[in-house]
Chain A
Amino acid sequence: DIQMTQSPSSLSASIGDRVTITCRASQGIDNYLAWFQQKPGKAPKSLIYAASSLQSGVPSRFSGSGSGTHFTLTIKSLRPEDFATYYCQQYSGYPPTFGPGTKVDIK
């Protein structure tokens, strides 16, 4: 199985900060990479697919980049509703696998 790692595992940030989360795959996955957001007790929300394509309705302050084994999720200007845990997921190899998550909390 393809292993996914994320860094950092957690970060503290302030409203308005630019936040970048890194995701790495144990082998090349082209751009078959998705990101989603999870808040406690809520349905996960899909943000990005194909490494950089925004899901419908996702604010433009979210962006994704990368290809191969190295990917990033950037939140341009952090808003209160963005405090959550973020996961990357590869769907190049079978089975699909997920990263361990990055928790973004308030500084």
Chain B
Amino acid sequence: EVRLLESGGRLVQPGGSLRLSCAASGFTFRNYAMSWVRQAPGKGPEWVSAVSGSGTRTYYADSVTGRFTISRDDSKNTLYLQMNSLRAEDTAVYYCAKDPFAAPHYYFDYWGQGTQVTVSS
């Protein structure tokens, strides 16, 4: 059974940093691209970032480019999102999502339950 379990979300002040993790199980993690998708209260989801199955290619939404860094540790079956210079508009539930292919196709066959990030003073 495929499982994706996010962690690391919490309340953080504007300008602060946070690292989210997504622990994967039930599939060969290194073979698949992974993404982070966020959803602010009352809004539709927003794709944030993706990493290829090899980890060599990364992709970012304009809204987070230069502030967020996606990475993966295939030895630990874990996906990460390092979030710096956080803003109030980054407040959202952050989901990790599995792509069906090694190169991102940007649709997802499995999702995690999400972790809440709140940016507020």
Q: Which residues of A contact B (CB under 8 A)?
A: 4, 32, 34, 36, 41-46, 49, 55-56, 87, 89, 91, 94-101
Contacts and interface: CB of A to CB of B under 8 A. Distances in A.
B106 A43 contact: no
Interface in B23-58: 43-47
Q: Is the interface of B mostly helix, strand, loop or mixed?
A: loop
Contacts, number: 55
B112 A43 contact: yes
Nearest to B49: A95
Interface of B: 4, 43-47, 59, 61-62, 95, 97, 100, 105-114
A86 to B, nearest CB: 11
B34 to A, nearest CB: 14
Contacts of B110: 43, 46
Contacts of A44: 45, 95, 97, 111
Contact of B44 (A34, A46, A99): A99
A102 to B, nearest CB: 11
